[in-house]
Homo-oligomer: A and B are copies of this chain.
């Protein structure tokens, strides 16, 4: 197919009748170059459409101007939003963004990080798929690769992180339900492997305990984070003899599933069941009534992560910094007050 090989400094130099060294100097504006020679080089470069070869530059100078982003799932609106923000922020500093989704699979994550490492990217922003077995991450950190963790923080990993107060947010939500008289509050959460889900579950448990309520395992369902699994889990929870009066879901995908499931088994929100979901999402304002949610400042996560990463790339060597954003409970119409006689 005779892919035309691109023009190199050599070509430009030849066209301008100078050496490669001089051409490079003219193109990059360093060292001494005669104004006349420089002009000829620039003209030749423009004429030949010289672009430079990042790969060669990267080899010489170490590292491609690329930031790697490893989200759990790019289709999840949360990560899509963050990816977008990272992209914008990275572009501001002349970096390209390489997105490689781990699909919440530890093996895949390992392979991807290996790949990024081999590509000599400048730094990585990662949402680790697992709370355990993170030797691969530990090694990267040890080797000095700039890494920023987002959304999911691993306490024993000495690197920067940006996340929200998952436990506090969950606790606030559950306490809101308790304050409205609910006692049988169900939880649907992800495999505890993911840090976020674990913390949110912890918030749920703490809220119950703080109010002297028992933690009933029958009210807790585990589901992987897909709409279908969430539907199944919801149906399981609500086909028990003593039905929960409220439900707390730990992410927007699960909330979506719960919504669908409750509708299909004929339970009305908030008359039959009250619902609070973690993470705000479009759908939440489209339903009738609208759904009460724990909102995270999604838009801040990406920019802050990039900022921290760039500082590391530039050589900052402070001890790990951890940014923790507060969540906000947005009360809409999906929680009802239960009258509870003393």
By a beta-carbon cutoff of 8 Å, the part of chain A in contact with chain B is 1-4, 6, 51-56, 58-59, 64, 66, 73-75, 77, 80-81, 83-84, 87, 96-101, 114-120, 143-145, 256, 259-260, 282-283, 286-288, 312, 315-317
Bound form: Cα–Cα A3–B59 in Å: 16
- Which residue of chain B lies nearest to A120 when distances are taken between CB atoms in the complex? B55
Given A59-B56, A74-B84, A283-B286, A115:B144 Cβ within 8 A: no
Copies of this protein in the complex: 2
29 pairs of residues in contact across A and B, judged by CB atoms under 8 Å: A1-B317, A3-B143, A3-B145, A51-B114, A53-B120, A54-B115, A54-B120, A55-B58, A55-B59, A55-B119, A55-B120, A56-B59, A64-B119, A66-B98, A74-B74, A74-B80, A74-B83, A74-B87, A77-B77, A77-B80, A80-B80, A84-B101, A87-B100, A96-B116, A96-B119, A98-B98, A283-B286, A286-B286, A286-B287
Are B96 and A98 interface neighbours, CB within 8 A?
Answer: yes
Are B51 and A117 interface neighbours, CB within 8 A?
Answer: yes
Contacts of A59 in B (CB 8 A): 53, 55-56, 59
Contacts of A81 in B (CB 8 A): 75
A81 to chain B, nearest CB (A): 6
A107 to chain B, nearest CB (A): 12
Assuming A1-B317, A3-B144, A55-B119, what are 13 further A-B pairs, CB within 8 angstroms?
A2-B144, A51-B114, A54-B115, A54-B118, A55-B64, A64-B119, A75-B80, A75-B81, A75-B84, A87-B99, A96-B98, A256-B282, A286-B286
Q: Is the interface of A mostly helix, strand, loop or mixed?
A: mixed
Bound form: Cα–Cα A317–B144 in Å: 44
A293 to chain B, nearest CB (A): 15
Q: Which of B84, B119, B143, B260 contacts A54 (CB 8 A)?
A: B119
Bound form: Cα–Cα A2–B145 in Å: 10
Bound form: Cα–Cα A82–B98 in Å: 16
Are B74 and A77 interface neighbours, CB within 8 A?
Answer: no
Contacts of A282 in B (CB 8 A): 256, 283
Contacts of A99 in B (CB 8 A): 83, 87, 97-99
A106 to chain B, nearest CB (A): 16
Are B96 and A6 interface neighbours, CB within 8 A?
Answer: no
Bound form: Cα–Cα A259–B288 in Å: 13
Bound form: Cα–Cα A97–B119 in Å: 12
Are A97 and B100 interface neighbours, CB within 8 A?
Answer: yes
Are A1 and B64 interface neighbours, CB within 8 A?
Answer: no
Bound form: Cα–Cα A84–B3 in Å: 29
A286 to chain B, nearest CB (A): 6
Are B4 and A143 interface neighbours, CB within 8 A?
Answer: yes
The 7 closest A-B pairs by CB, nearest first: A3-B144, A54-B118, A99-B99, A1-B317, A98-B98, A80-B80, A54-B119
A302 to chain B, nearest CB (A): 12
A276 to chain B, nearest CB (A): 18
A33 to chain B, nearest CB (A): 23
A17 to chain B, nearest CB (A): 25
- Which residue of chain B lies nearest to A63 when distances are taken between CB atoms in the complex? B55
Given A54-B120, A55-B119, A118-B51, A144:B84 Cβ within 8 A: no
Bound form: Cα–Cα A315–B2 in Å: 9
